[in-house]
Structure 1
Amino acid sequence: MLAVFTTWYDRLPMGAPTSPVVANFYCIELDRKLTLTVRDNRFVYSRYADDLTFLSDIAFTNDSIVRITDIIHDAGFTINSKKFRINSYNSRQMVTGLVGNKQPNVKRSYIRTLRAMLNDIEKNGLESAAKKHFRYYANESINPMLVNEFRRRLLGKIQFVGFVKNKSNPVYKKLINRYRKIFAIANA
């Protein structure tokens, strides 16, 4: 019955609001087995939709990799070899767009881009910065709705930094305070 309400032409649609719930339901046994296996091997396991992540301070052995892949295959999943990788614990570990070595973090380039967007607004004005952001408006005046969309995107990106790093983080505080100053907002 669940399949009737959550599929479209016998397929689970990408991005549907029901997709995470269905994925979690389908992965209950997989998550349980992997959690038990990694606990025995001093690994940490997490899953975001269909992205599985295993972290450890010690090297992964061939035996542990085989055991993990067997559990995944036994649950009816296949591993995309193009996305499968093993990183040492001291290398940059990117997972779903976040750096995750010791704790979740955003890439420095993400912060630099936000600073550049704020600088552009301060130097050239909101409309000019929005034009650069959307890139396809050369000489014509930009739609006010796109200017507002640019402003909302910028705030959303800054709030994402606060979510990942924490709202008390100095990097987040500087970004949000600059945003508030530019737009003369007490609480963004």
Structure 2
Amino acid sequence: MHNFALANKKSPDFISELPQIEPKPYSNGHKIKWINHTLTSTEVTPPDNLIKICILIESGEIAITSVSDIANLLGVPAGQLLYILYHKKDNYRTFEIEKKNGKKRVINAPCGGLSILQTRLKPVLEYFYRPKKSAHGFIKGKSIITNAGMHIKKNFVVNIDLENYFESISFARVYGIFKSKPFNFAHPAATVLAQLCTHNGKLPQGACTSPILANIASASLDKQLTQFAGRKKISYSRYADDITFSFNQRNIDIIKKNDDGSYSLSETIDNIISKNGFKINYDKFRVQTRNTRQSVTGLVVNDKVNINRRYIRITRSMIHRWTDDKLKYALLFATEKGYQAKDNNHAIQIFRNHIYGRLSFIKMVRGKDYPGYLKLMSYMSHNDPLKTQEGLRAMKETENFDVFICHASEDKKDIAIPIYDELTKLKISAFIDHVEI
């Protein structure tokens, strides 16, 4: 076994020696600059053989023990690394986004050198993380679709939300991850990495390293709930902070029915979750029975993985608005969502991107040949001067229509539908939204 650091001397107490190794300031006219200048994504690259290094770390042939080891692993001078972590003040940009329930979600997005360092660390985390079968969030080859697919055609679907999921994973917990298997990093190295990956003592929403570390921190929870589900012959999955159980016979070890007909979560599940350092958000606890619409991570699972019809209707309505008066509704959309459009063209671009994003989601869930998707995409493409390749494909797939009726919402009843009815009588194939979409 050998140290990864280029120097073989014992790792210093890096906190006390920080003033000696931090970047040195010098005067440049009226400004102060640093000899060890600002890190950029193109200046220093991590080792090309990063995976080989990870293999050697995993086998125990390389020991990560010091700050220098971490600096070498990330391809950055040690002084620069410590300066970014302990002296630089503007490492994060904080902003809010609106949740579906109207509340605000705080996002802490890393900036500058810190963002670059986290991006370089991410492949190392991905190498060492071994996903549990039950975990579906932020994992290559998995998605909300694979997560929802675990719970098709079940009599009971139970949704549990973990409250403040990322924020509940503390600096100490992240430090413990790097100290234990499979990393086994020494105290100085684990401390620096925990500092690199946390903000105000917890995992920040907005850092590229947070989802993987959250999954690693949840591995014990996944293991225990998977074992529990296996004993009870029920299905269990987790997508980030969304936990789902499903089964056909009412299971008293999961839920219990109250006198008023509502359901409560059993203490068994509550205890497993709390012992793993998480807390349940009971405002989002739901039990969905077979005779109601059952959804998992936003997808309907009663008979197959499907999209909520309301999502389709809203998408169709947005395309109507785009067709009717794109500027008017783009400005309204930007105002409703709190987007800061630079000008009218920017507002239109934001609205357009949002519509195409919704269409892409429908395509992802239902497939590229789903008729409903093709008709919506074709409808949008017919009314978009900047046609996409996918839009042109959809238009070609729906060429079986002789007439494509586009109309303003107020003209639908008195003009568009009568025209459609007359064309139908003449056996002319016509497209109109309320029939074809």
Q: TM-score range by the shorter chain?
A: 0.7 to 0.9
Give the 3-state SS of the residue equivalent to 1:82 in structure 2.
Answer: helix
Give the direction of change, closer, same or farther, for the CA distance of 1:57–1:90 in structure 2 (3 Å limit). Answer: farther
**Aligned AA (1:170):** P
Q: Which has the larger share of helix? A: 1
1:67-114: per-residue Cα shift (whole Å, max 9, x none)?
333322222222222222222233222333333334333221111111
Give the 3-state SS of the residue equivalent to 2:285 in structure 1.
Answer: coil
Give the direction of change, closer, same or farther, for the CA distance of 1:68–1:89 in structure 2 (3 Å limit). Answer: farther
Among 263, 268, 271, the residue aligned to 1:70: 271
Give the 3-state SS of the residue equivalent to 2:349 in structure 1.
Answer: helix
**Is the aligned partner of 1:128 residue 2:328?**
yes
Give the direction of change, closer, same or farther, for the CA distance of 1:155–1:62 in structure 2 (3 Å limit). Answer: same
Among 370, 374, 397, the residue aligned to 1:173: 374
> In structure 1, what is the Cα distance between the partners aligned to 2:249 and 2:366?
26
**Is the aligned partner of 1:82 residue 2:283?**
yes
* 2:300–2:307 contact (8 Å) kept in structure 1: yes
Higher-Rg structure is 2
> In structure 1, what is the Cα distance between the partners aligned to 2:254 and 2:348?
54
Number of paired residues?
182
Give the 3-state SS of the residue equivalent to 1:30 in structure 2.
Answer: helix
* 1:127–1:147 contact (8 Å) kept in structure 2: yes
Among 358, 379, 389, the residue aligned to 1:186: 389
Among 204, 215, 218, the residue aligned to 1:27: 218
Moved more, 178-187 or 146-155: 178-187
- Larger relative contact order (CA 8 Å, sep ≥ 6): 2
Give the 3-state SS of the residue equivalent to 1:125 in structure 2.
Answer: helix
**Is the aligned partner of 1:10 residue 2:201?**
yes
Give the 3-state SS of the residue equivalent to 2:348 in structure 1.
Answer: helix
**Aligned AA (1:148):** Q
| Aligned match of 1:105 | 306
> In structure 2, what is the Cα distance between the partners aligned to 1:83 and 1:120?
33
TM-superposed deviation, 1:135:
4.5
Give the direction of change, closer, same or farther, for the CA distance of 1:32–1:62 in structure 2 (3 Å limit). Answer: closer
* 2:331–2:344 contact (8 Å) kept in structure 1: no
* 1:55–1:89 contact (8 Å) kept in structure 2: no
Give the direction of change, closer, same or farther, for the CA distance of 1:102–1:75 in structure 2 (3 Å limit). Answer: farther
Give the 3-state SS of the residue equivalent to 1:61 in structure 2.
Answer: coil
Among 249, 255, 265, the residue aligned to 1:58: 249
* 1:30–1:75 contact (8 Å) kept in structure 2: yes
> In structure 2, what is the Cα distance between the partners aligned to 1:7 and 1:106?
36
Give the 3-state SS of the residue equivalent to 2:236 in structure 1.
Answer: strand
| Aligned match of 1:164 | 365
* 2:330–2:348 contact (8 Å) kept in structure 1: yes
Give the direction of change, closer, same or farther, for the CA distance of 1:29–1:62 in structure 2 (3 Å limit). Answer: closer
> In structure 1, what is the Cα distance between the partners aligned to 2:268 and 2:368?
39
1:165-185: per-residue Cα shift (whole Å, max 9, x none)?
222222212112222222243
> In structure 1, what is the Cα distance between the partners aligned to 2:353 and 2:230?
42
* 2:237–2:243 contact (8 Å) kept in structure 1: yes
Give structure 1 stretches of 5+ with no counterpart: 137-141
* 1:92–1:99 contact (8 Å) kept in structure 2: yes
> In structure 1, what is the Cα distance between the partners aligned to 2:221 and 2:272?
7
Q: Which has the larger share of strand? A: 2
**Aligned AA (1:77):** F
Give the 3-state SS of the residue equivalent to 1:78 in structure 2.
Answer: coil
Moved more, 35-44 or 127-136: 127-136
Moved more, 100-109 or 59-68: 59-68
| Aligned match of 2:227 | 36
